[in-house]
A = this chain, B = another copy of it.
């Protein structure tokens, strides 16, 4: 007799047949005596269809009207799913974000949830109804429709679970859990039974995009147990939890994340004077370019090489900015490389284990892979290497840290 908030994404409600499959799944939980609040996305393709219409009309569509437009996508799904539940003999009631009410700030297309009224949902649950809520949307203090930005349905699910003090927030998606690394790269990649919020954040931001990062942060902050499961096959999925006492028993690392989205830029031969970093990164930031890794080395000749990575889409723009910066600083040259990849090992276990980084570097060296940059945090070590070595590096590390399926299964 638990209360579950279940979120089904666009693919899971992408057709009438799939909406009916979701209704069957919800019915199963109701028959076990559980209370269920369902959060749904727009049917897959619908949001893009609406955005395309807007772009035909206005090159930069008005944000308020954009929210009014795209929020119809989830509204269609809540109505159809409620009908499917009723067709199965369940009581159900749909709510838009504005009806619930999910109160947000006024930042159209990127609103943040400020409060959720739970009165109507509680009443429905008490009456034995399934509550069906439109994800991704809310209402601002003036009654304007807002959206949380794309993928925000995960956040809606977590926020509702927190507000209702649900036993679990279940995110149904097209993968059956969080893996040690991408199974398309490493055949022996394993589904994790559990992962901590911190690890999940590092995995998500590093490219294992199972969950929206804001949803994970939110769940961690409000201590909402979060579970990632498949909409299409049964299974326990992966539970994302607060680090527990058993953490010391955990393996050193939980997974290998990677991405190919970045490019590297180096300003070579910068005079080694105070304020150099801000004089380089200030103009980059003003050009709305986000920077990820930053490394600075001092050379023997009192000059320094300053290297950082940006999203590959910003590579050309960043080079233009740096040409100007080079002149101003009297630096020698600007060099760059957009054929790089970033590979990271992630795990709360590394906190209590020395030598994790050197084990990583050894494993890469054994494959003759040259490391171009290194960056570390408490629970991860990232390296930049040539893109062509990516798969080899991931497989080598997966094996070096005993993550392969043939190794002891972690429970």
Residues of chain B contacted by A319 (CB below 8 angstroms): none
Which of A19, A65, A72, A143 has the most chain B CB atoms closer than 10 A to its own CB?
A: A65
**8 Å CB interface, A310-350 against B:** none
Instruction: Decide if B79 touches A94 in the complex (CB within 8 Å).
Output: no
Residues of chain B contacted by A82 (CB below 8 angstroms): 62, 65, 68
**8 Å CB interface, A55-89 against B:** 56-58, 61-62, 64-66, 68-69, 71-72, 75-76, 78-80, 82-84, 86-87
Q: Cα distance A76–B64 when bound, in Å?
A: 13
Q: Which of B83, B98, B143 contacts A58 (CB 8 A)?
A: B83
The answer to the question of A96 belonging to the interface, with a C-beta cut-off of 8 Å to chain B, is: yes
Q: A50-B76, A58-B83 are in contact. Are A99 and B65 (CB under 8 A)?
A: no
Q: Cα distance A144–B96 when bound, in Å?
A: 10
Instruction: Decide if A16 touches B56 in the complex (CB within 8 Å).
Output: yes
The answer to the question of A54 belonging to the interface, with a C-beta cut-off of 8 Å to chain B, is: yes
Q: Which of B20, B72, B98, B145 contacts A76 (CB 8 A)?
A: B72
Q: Cα distance A98–B101 when bound, in Å?
A: 13
Instruction: Decide if A58 touches B72 in the complex (CB within 8 Å).
Output: no
This chain: how many copies in the complex?
Answer: 2
Interface size class of A (residues with CB under 8 A): 35 or more
Q: Which of B53, B58, B143 contacts A87 (CB 8 A)?
A: B58
Residues of chain B contacted by A72 (CB below 8 angstroms): 72, 75-76
Q: Cα distance A307–B72 when bound, in Å?
A: 50
Interface string of A87-110 (1 = CB under 8 A from B): 100000110101100000000000
Instruction: Decide if A57 touches B80 in the complex (CB within 8 Å).
Output: yes
Instruction: Decide if A66 touches B84 in the complex (CB within 8 Å).
Output: no
Instruction: Decide if A84 touches B68 in the complex (CB within 8 Å).
Output: no
| Nearest-Cβ distance from residue A262 to partner chain B, whole angstroms | 35
Q: A86-B58, A87-B58, A99-B143 are in contact. Are A53 and B65 (CB under 8 A)?
A: no
Which residues does A use to contact B, with CB under 8 Å?
A: 16, 19-20, 50, 53-54, 56-58, 61-62, 64-66, 68-69, 71-72, 75-76, 78-80, 82-84, 86-87, 93-94, 96, 98-99, 143-145
